[in-house]
Structure 1
Amino acid sequence: MSRLLTVAAAQLGPIHRADDRASVVRRMIALMEQAKARGADFIVYPELALTTFFPRWYCEDRAEADQWFEAAMPGPDTQPLFNAARRLGMAMSFGYAELTPEGRHFNSSILVDRAGSIVGKYRKVHLPGHAELDPTRAHQHLEKRYFEPGDRGFPVWNFEGGLVGMAICNDRRWPETYRVMGLQGVEMVVLGYNTPTVNGHSKTETLADRMFHHRLSVQAGAYQNSTWVVAVAKAGVEDGYPLFGGTLIVGPDGKIVGELDHDDDGVLVHGCDLDATRFGKETMFNFAAHRRVEHYELITARTGVGEPLGRAE
C-alpha cells in the first residue's frame, strides 16, 4: 500500500517593496484554495514568501532592515494564513525572515500541520552573497549582512506520514544539504528560493545556464538520496530586478515530474508516493551497505581547498 502525499508547489510572482504583508497573505490563501480544490494535502511556498527579496537593498543602518522580519509566527498579518490552513485541512511550509526574541536574524522556513500548529523550523545554513555594499555588482546580494547562518543543521521530521526535511535556496546547490537529511532517511525535501535571473559575477552566464544548474542540483540531490524534492520559486520582476521561476517537483529517481513554465502566482500539484523512495534506499543508495566513512574525513575537516592527499607509490 503506497503512502501518497499530494503536494502543491505554490509559486509566487513578484512581491514589490511597497506591497504589504496582508496583500501577500491574500495571494497565498488564494493559492491554497486552488491547491485544495485540486486535491492537495500539503502546500509549499517559496523562500521569504511574505516580502520582496530585500537583500538586494542596502541599509547602512542594519536595523532599518528589521521592517522585513517577523518577530512572531504567526503574527497579526500571518494569522489569516494559519486560519485558512486549519479551515481547509492543509499542511504547509513557507519561508520568512525571522527575528528572535534575543534579537537574532535568520532566513527561516517552517512546517505547519493541518491543525495550524508549527511542528518544525529550519534556518538557512548556506548564506550566499556579501555583507557590505559592492558597487561593482549588477545587483546587491546582502544575505550575509542581514542574516546569521542557520544554527539547527538539517533536521528531518515525521510529518504527514513521512520523513520531511527543509532547505532554502542556495542550500540546494550543496550536496551535504541532501546527504545529511538522507542519512536520516528523508523521503521529501521541500525548499523555497528567490534566485536572480542574472549572475552578478558573470557577464556570460545565460538564463538557460542558470536553469540548467538549478535543475541539476535538485535532481542530483533527489537521485543520490532517493527522495522527493519540491523546489518552489518566488519569480518575476520585483522593482526592476528579475527572479527566475522553474518551480518543479523531482522524484526519487531524479526525474522531473512537473514544472511550471511561467513567473506568476501558480500551483503545481503532484501525488508523491513516499514508498517510491524505498527502491533507491534499498539498492544503489543503501548507505549502511555501501558508504565508506573512513575516507570522508575531509568533508568535515576542511572548509576550503587544501593540500592534495595523493602520493607517489
Structure 2
Amino acid sequence: MRPVHVAAAQLGPIQKAEPREAVVARMLALLDAAADKGCDLVVYPELALTTFFPRWYMEDQAEVDTWFEAEMPNAATQPLFDAAKAKGVAISFGYAELTPDGHHFNTSILTDKTGTIIGKYRKVHLPGHDEFDPERAFQHLEKRYFEPGDLGFPVWQTLGGVFGMCICNDRRWPETYRVMGLQGVEMVLLGYNTPSVNSQKSAEGPEDRLFHHRLVLQSGAYQNATFVVAVAKAGVEDGHPLIGGSVIVDPNGKIVAESLTEDDELVTAVCDLDETVFGKETIFDFARHRRIEHYGRITSQTGVEVAS
C-alpha cells in the first residue's frame, strides 16, 4: 500500500476588497484542520489568494498587475509555507504569477512536506475572451490577462507517488490527463473557479455545470487510472456565483469524497496509490494498446477540418 491522505481545501467566496492576508488566514485554518486529521497533502483552488479578477474589464496594466504575485512565497503567503513546514504537510495552490521578465500566467505550485516548492504548472487551456464582450452576461477575460502556459504538463515524484497538476478549464480537455497519464501520473491536483451560469448560455446553470464538471473529472481519472483531486473556490463573489463540487475521484472514476457547501470546507480521503496499478496494467496499458499511428490529427491541427 502507498496511502496518501489528501485534503481538498475548498474556499468560499473571496470578495474584491478582501486582502491576501485575510485569505491566507482562512487557508491556515484549513491547513490546521487537515493536519489534525493526519493529512499528508492539502490542495487549494485556482487563484486562491484573490477574487476571480478576470470577470472585471481593466485597461490599466498597473491595475491588472495588483492581482499578480511577483514572487512566491511572498510576505502575505510566507505564513502558509511556514505552517506547512512546521506541520509536515505538503500543499498545492493557485495564484496569478508575474514573472521577473514581465510574463503573466495562471499558475499552480506544489511543495513537499518541508514547504519547499518542487513543482510549478501554468494553465494551458485559457477560456474566455480578450476584449469586452457586451453580448455576455458577465466577462471572462482570462485571455486578456494571462498567457497560455509554457511548461506543458509535467509530473513530479513525491509523497511516494507520481503527481501532476492542471487548472480549471484544463480539466475539460482529455489531452490534459493523457499527457500526464503517459508519464505514469497517479494523482492529478487541480483547482478551479467556475461560474454557476454559462455567460453565453443562460439556460446552462449550476446543475449542468456540476454535471459536466464531474463528467470530465471522472472520465479523466478512469481513462488514465489516476486519482483526481479537484478543489473549488465557490459561492457568491462580488455578486457572481461560483459552483462548489470539490471532489476526490479514484482511478475507477468513482467519487470517494465531495463537498457539501459553497463555503470554506475540508474534504478528505486516504488514497492508496497502488489502486492505480490495475488499470495501468490492464485496459489502460498504453504500451500494449495505444495506436499512435492513427492519432496524428491530435497534434497536427487545432480547429475542425471537415473531410470533403
TM-score higher than 0.5 here?
yes
Backbone CA RMSD of aligned residues: 0.8
Paired position in structure 1 for 2:274:
275
Alignment check: 8 A CA contact 1:222 1:229 kept: yes
Question: Could you list the per-position Cα deviations for residues 47-103 of structure 1 after superposition, in whole angstroms to 9, with x for gaps in the alignment?
Answer: 000000000011012331110100000001110000010111100000000000001
Q: CA deviation at 1:308?
A: 2.5
- Counterpart in the other structure of 1:168: 167
Query: Following superposition of structure 1 onto structure 2, how do residues 226-305 of structure 1 map, counting pairs within 5 Å?
Result: 226-305=225-304
Counterpart secondary structure, 1:267: strand
Q: Quote how far apart the aligned CAs of 1:304 are.
A: 0.5
Aligned equivalent of 2:46: 47
Q: Which residue of 1 aligns with 2:224?
A: 225
Q: 1:307, CA displacement in angstroms?
A: 3.0
Task: Indicate yes or no: 2:96 matched with 1:100.
Answer: no
* Deviation (angstroms), 1:268: 0.5
Q: Deviations over 1:196-229 (max 9, x none)?
A: 0010110221311111000000000000000000
Residues of 1 paired with 2:111 and 2:152: CA distance? Answer: 19
Distance 1:162 1:182 in 2: 13
Tell me which amino acid in the other structure corresponds to 2:132.
L
CA distance in 2, matches of 1:129, 1:288: 36
The separation in 2 between residues aligned to 1:203 and 1:68, in whole angstroms, is: 28
Q: CA deviation at 1:238?
A: 0.4
Aligned to 1:198: 197
Between 1:186-195 and 1:34-43, the stretch displaced more is 34-43
Letter in 1 for 2:51: T
In structure 2, what residue type is equivalent to 1:228? F
| Residue of structure 2 in register with 1:184 after alignment | 183
1: CA distance, partners of 2:79 / 2:205: 40
Instruction: Name 2:65's counterpart in structure 1.
Output: 66
Q: How many residues align?
A: 308
Cα contact 1:62–1:146 (8 A) shared by 2: no
Is 1:79 the counterpart of 2:73? The answer is no
Once superposed, which parts of structure 1, at least 4 consecutive aligned residues long, lie more than 4 Å away?
A: none
Per-residue CA distance 1:206-264 (angstroms, 9 max, x = gap): 31111100000000000000000000000000010000000000000000001001100
CA contact (8 A) 1:228 1:277 kept: yes
Matched, 1:88 2:87: yes
2: distance between equivalents of 1:188 and 1:98? Answer: 24
Q: TM-score, normalised by structure 1?
A: 0.97
Structure 1 unmatched runs, 5+: none
Alignment of 1:14-163 (within 5 A): 14-163=13-162
Q: Please give the alpha-carbon distance, in whole angstroms, between the structure 2 residues aligned to 1:232 and 1:205.
A: 21
CA distance in 1, matches of 2:205, 2:100: 42
Secondary structure of the structure 2 residue equivalent to 1:65: helix
SS in 1 for 2:66: helix
Displacement of 1:135: 1.5
Deviations 1:109-138 (CA, angstroms, capped at 9, x unpaired): 000111111000000000000000112211
Q: Deviations over 1:21-51 (max 9, x none)?
A: 1000000000000011111110000000000
- Structure 2 residue ranges without an equivalent (≥5): none
Contact 2:189 2:228 in 1 (8 A): yes
- Contact 2:135–2:200 at 8 Å: present in 1 too? no
Query: Do the aligned residues in 1 keep the contact of 2:248 with 2:256 (CA within 8 Å)?
Result: yes
Task: Say which SS state the counterpart of residue 68 (structure 1) adopts.
Answer: coil
AA partner of residue 263 (structure 1): E
Looking at structure 2, the residues matched to 308 and 290 of structure 1 have their Cα atoms a distance apart, in angstroms, of 27
Distance, in Å, in 1 between the alignment partners of 2:83 and 2:206 is: 36
CA distance in 2, matches of 1:208, 1:245: 11
The percentage of counterpart residues that share the same residue type is 67
SS at match of 2:24: helix
Amino acid of the structure 2 residue aligned with 1:27 = R
